[in-house]
A and B are shown apart, each in its own frame.
Chain A
């Protein structure tokens, strides 16, 4: 089975712009979660989507949003970019919630640099 894929892998934007990142989960996985990784804050949970519905959300401002499509692919959007949004954005997928099937498998990440 192919793993979690994320596009693009690298991105450079300027302050005030917006960006959309894409994640394709492992085939058969219905849950997609997004995490932000920075040297200062470490790995922080952004949100999780399951069956096209946002099921859980972390403590990030409303500039961060996401969605999930019927094929379980997910996108996250960051509007009005700030310098502090520079980070590695990781997507993870799992089969279901509950039990070992909630084990999350991560993609390689999208590295975003905001200038």
Chain B
């Protein structure tokens, strides 16, 4: 079945690392995504990882994927106040019959204290 779960809230100090966790249930997911949403705005794509990868790094962002445990994490190094937002984990299914459909977690509110 399709289900994505995330912790609801994370608070960190400016300059520290943030780690946002996500678990998913559909083992056939091909791509897993992280999106960021600031107040009153749409979703900004941060990064994605293909399911046959373990890790992907993009500047301050590191994505780790443990396919066995169906666990995905997003690490933000040197977290800044501008990183305060809601972070959504999402999975997509591989079958063309499904077309494009993202299944989202509930979102993690990241609060960065200066």
Contact = CB atoms under 8 A, between A and B. Distances in A.
Interface string B92-105: 10001011111111
B44 interface: yes
Main secondary structure of the interface of B (DSSP, over half): strand
Which 8 residue pairs are nearest across A and B when measured between Cβ atoms?
A56-B99, A55-B99, A106-B43, A43-B104, A108-B42, A106-B42, A109-B42, A48-B99
Interface of A: 4, 6, 31, 33, 35, 42-43, 45, 48, 50, 55-56, 58, 90, 92, 94, 97-98, 100, 102-109
Nearest to B50: A100
Given A48-B101, A56-B99, A90-B43, A42 B31 contact: no
B106 interface: yes
A98 B101 contact: no
Given A106-B43, A108-B41, A98 B106 contact: no
Main secondary structure of the interface of A (DSSP, over half): strand
B98 A100 contact: no
